[in-house]
Amino acid sequence: MRFDRILSSCIFATLFCFSFNALANGGNDSGLQSFHADWFSSGAEIQDLRERSTKTFELLDQNDSGSITFDEIDMMEMASEVPDMNNEELREYSRRTSAIHSKFMNWTTEFDEFEIVDTNGDGVWNRDEYEIRYQMVQNHRLELGLKEWDTDENGAVELHEFNSHLDELELYDENADGIVSHKEAFKSKNDKVISDVLMNKLAADEMVWASYSTVAPAASSSGVVEYKLEIEKKAKDGNSEN
Work out the pLDDT band at 201, boundaries 50, 70, 90. low
Question: CB neighbours of 209 closer than 8 A, spacing ≥ 6?
Answer: 91, 94, 95
Indicate whether 18 pLDDT > 50. no
Indicate whether 69 pLDDT > 80. yes
Of all residues in the chain, what percent carry a pLDDT higher than 90? 32
Indicate whether 60 pLDDT > 90. yes
Indicate whether 80 pLDDT > 60. yes
What is the mean pLDDT of the segment spanning 43-53?
89
Indicate whether 31 pLDDT > 50. yes
Reported in sequence order, the residue ranges of the chain that DSSP labels E, i.e. its strands, are: 44-45, 67-68, 157-158, 179-180
Number of domains in the chain: 1
What is the dihedral angle through the alpha carbons of 105, 107, 113, 116, rounded to the nearest 10 degrees?
Answer: -30
Indicate whether 27 pLDDT > 50. no
Work out the pLDDT band at 3, boundaries 50, 70, 90. very low
Name the average pLDDT for the chain: 75
Q: Is the dihedral of CA 215, 220, 225, 230 positive or negative?
A: negative
Per-residue pLDDT tens digits for 125-184: 999 988 889 989 999 999 999 999 999 999 999 999 999 999 888 888 888 888 888 888
Task: Provide the residue range defining the domain that includes 29.
Answer: 2-241
Give the whole-angstrom CA distance, residue 241 versus residue 32: 21
Residue with more model confidence, 84 or 38: 84
| Contact in structure between 207 and 17 (CB atoms under 8 Å) | yes
| Contact in structure between 57 and 162 (CB atoms under 8 Å) | yes
